[in-house]
Structure 1
Amino acid sequence: MSRYLLNKFLFTVDRDPALVERYRSEPAELVTWWEGTVANSLLNSHTGEASTWLAFTAEERAALTAHDHVKLFELGAHPFLTLTLFIALFERDNTEPLEYQKAYGAKLAHLSLPYPDIAT
């Protein structure tokens, strides 16, 4: 399991509107594409350097594909990264102010301290 890789996925997808739309409409395809092309590149590097060992576990891939922010948090993904990306994905489906954010929090309400470790 790599919390770094989960957080890198959330961070990089959230910053590209085209990737946000692909993740919304075809999450499995985007996760597979991202893992194969972006996962092992160095974050914010333009030198062409890359690693070769980073990959999602089956559990991480399933949570990303299902847009399961609760499972992602349990796996150690940073809650602010999931929240900002998931707002971009789903807030447009709600009509009330902060409706999505409240639902997001309510789904995490069963968790109590100590929270899962989100350090990378």
Structure 2
Amino acid sequence: MSRYLLNKFLYTVDRDPELVERYREDPRGTVEWWEAERANVILNVLTGEKSSWLKFDDTEREALATHDVPKLFELGAHPFLTLTLCIAMFERDYTEPLGYQLYYAQCLSHFTLPYPDIST
């Protein structure tokens, strides 16, 4: 399990509007593509230098592919990264003010202190 890789996925997808739409429309395909093409690219390094060992485990891959916010939080994904990406993808589906944010809070309401470790 790699909290770093989960958070890297959320961070990089959220910063690219085309990837946000791709992830909304084809989450499983986007996760598979990102893992194969981008997971080992060193963050913020544009030289083409790559690592070779980072990959999601089956639980992480499935949680990302199904947009399972509670499972991502349980696995250590940072809630602010998850929230901002999910707002970009799903806020348009809610008509009431803060509709998605309220849904997100409800999804995580069963967690009590101490929360899962989100450090990387």
Q: TM-score interval w.r.t. the shorter chain? A: over 0.9
2:60 paired residue number: 60
Task: State the Cα RMSD in Å.
Answer: 0.4
Give the TM-score taking structure 1 as reference length: 0.99
Alpha-carbon distance between aligned partners in 1 of 2:14 and 2:47, rounded to the nearest angstrom? 22
Alpha-carbon distance between aligned partners in 2 of 1:72 and 1:38, rounded to the nearest angstrom? 19
Within 5 Å, which residues of 2 pair with 1:34-113?
Answer: 34-113=34-113
Structure 1 unaligned spans of 5+: none
- CA-to-partner distance for each residue in 1:50-93, whole Å, 9 max, x for gaps? 10000000000000000011100000000000000000010000
Structure 2 unaligned spans of 5+: none
% same residue: 68
Give the TM-score taking structure 2 as reference length: 0.99
Alpha-carbon distance between aligned partners in 1 of 2:24 and 2:99, rounded to the nearest angstrom? 18
Q: Secondary structure at the match of 1:60?
A: helix
Alpha-carbon distance between aligned partners in 1 of 2:42 and 2:86, rounded to the nearest angstrom? 24
1:48, CA displacement in angstroms? 1.2
Q: Which runs of 4+ in 1 moved over 4 A?
A: none
Aligned pair 1:6/2:10, yes or no? no
